[in-house]
Structure 1
């Protein structure tokens, strides 16, 4: 009996060790293919640790609103999948910066919480260096990207913050999908979105789908409750996490425009 118990303990320890070592492969799901088609102008970002990241700068159509939207992607794909969002925002007179994190879209490096924080800062700095005032930049974060831009907002204040399908923190989502694991203890990357949001003074809009199977809608509602300067909450009925209505649909675009019109 003791031997059986030892074997079971060894198996559990081995499983937890594997999960510890390979967890980032479960969190980050990049399309590593180099992006060849272009929306707008191809630009390059340089991170503080010397990586060069591919990006697109999409100018706003006339009449321009003199506001730029920095888009931080979720954990999957690459910037090509966000092209419809960029086109829709551009049609509303908004300049849009789409970029890929390290390890995505043909970029060098491997994604991590600290790495993505460096990457989004490079994107924000590019816009500022290009002549866009920091107080005329709206951060748009999609799912994991919502946590990325919220952390950025704690040090580089935006004009406003639009959080699409945000979660309270990464462990809260992980526990939903892996209820049999001690997710909070295992995670190396925390992404404490709600905690960071408490320190953000910029106006905030939260958009989520009622049928989101990746980030449950109650998570996004809790994020809205944590926002000190909440301006708008938009629930898209029947929308799942990757449905077009939630990725680049008219209600998402309208939420961004409403926030911009309040600036």
Structure 2
């Protein structure tokens, strides 16, 4: 065997292995995007006093579990406003209970949503599927809970910023808060998997492009130590918003650090609600 033949064979093997790995990653890409906790949470009232379990019916016939968390007491800076929380790609609604409790104390009512495939819900998550889930949540609030659309705020976390902006484009809220938003999913994928051809991604979530078309007040919150969504991408989303109310930058805070589920988010929502009242 000549040296040239040996080199050629090695190259063939390398290309073949790369092709197999690439196909496997392409076929399993949604397993890299969606990381659900599939276990059913306990009844809402066992976790949050006064909360109740509700069922959301999607246009494609799924029944999804969610928690409706009313405000604590008759007054507070968030009184009269309801928050539709579109979560990120991990966990389930039990993980957002502390944030819902803090919002309740501030006077907000909150709907904690679990997407299809999360929190014991049927189905598998996809971009189109999550859009249907968000619409079902909004329909429940407006049609069943009688929430006025001009008193409805959307809160999107990470991947949920794609869900929330898509919902806002179809059904404008009184205000939109985006926590750790990204430009679009391919941009995040290139950051984490620079060797993958992101043009082949099935799910796109074009957050910045969608925000640029919104005629609602937008608040963007992000941490400077975020290693999951680069802060520069959140900056670009804020720059794209025609009606940016506020850019809240949290120095030294990472993607899932406690402030991302606590006071900075509650206070930003209070300011967003105040702007919506005026």
Hey, what does 1:181 align to over in structure 2? 196
- Given the alignment of the two structures, is residue 259 of structure 1 paired with residue 272 of structure 2, yes or no? yes
Give, in angstroms, the shift of residue 186 of structure 1: 2.5
Task: Give the alignment partner of residue 83 of structure 2, picking from 69, 88, 91.
Answer: 69
Whole-angstrom distance in 2 between the partners of 1:135 and 1:14: 51
Task: Work out which of the residue numbers 61, 72, 78 in structure 2 matches 1:50.
Answer: 61
What does 1:99-110 correspond to in 2, within 5 Å?
Answer: 99-110=113-124
Q: Encode CA deviations 1:215-239: one digit per residue, 9 max, x unaligned.
A: 1111111100010100001011111
Task: Report the 3-state secondary structure (helix = DSSP H, G, I; strand = E; otherwise coil) of the residue aligned with 1:262.
Answer: helix
User: What is the deviation of 1:15?
Assistant: 1.2
Correspondence list, 1:163-202, <5 A: 163-182=178-197, 184-202=198-216
1:142 maps onto 2:142 in alignment: no
Written as runs of structure 1 = structure 2, the 5 A alignment for 1:1-263 is 1-38=7-44, 39=48, 40-61=51-72, 62-63=74-75, 65-129=79-143, 130-182=145-197, 184-246=198-260, 248-263=261-276
User: How far has the Cα of 1:37 moved from its partner?
Assistant: 4.0
- The answer to whether the Cα contact below 8 Å between 2:93 and 2:113 also exists between their aligned partners in 1 is yes
Aligned residues: 261
Give me the CA root mean square deviation: 1.0
Deviation larger for 160-169 or 130-139: 130-139
Distance in 2 of aligned mates of 1:192 and 1:251: 25
Aligned residue for 1:166, secondary structure, equals coil
Q: What's the offset of the Cα at 1:4? A: 2.6
In structure 2, how many angstroms separate the alpha carbons of the residues matched to 1:33 and 1:21?
25
After TM superposition, give the deviation of residue 152 of structure 1 in Å.
Answer: 0.7
Which 5+ residue runs of structure 1 have no aligned equivalent? none
Task: Choose 70-79 or 185-194, whichever is displaced more.
Answer: 185-194
TM-score of the pair, normalised by structure 2: 0.92
2:152–2:173 contact (8 Å) kept in structure 1: yes
Residue 43 of structure 2 contacts residue 52 of structure 2 at CA under 8 Å; is this kept in 1? no
Q: What's the secondary structure of 1:256's corresponding residue?
A: helix
Offset at residue 67 of structure 1 (A): 1.0
Q: TM-score, normalised by structure 1?
A: 0.97
8 Å CA contact 2:86, 2:157 repeated in 1 = yes
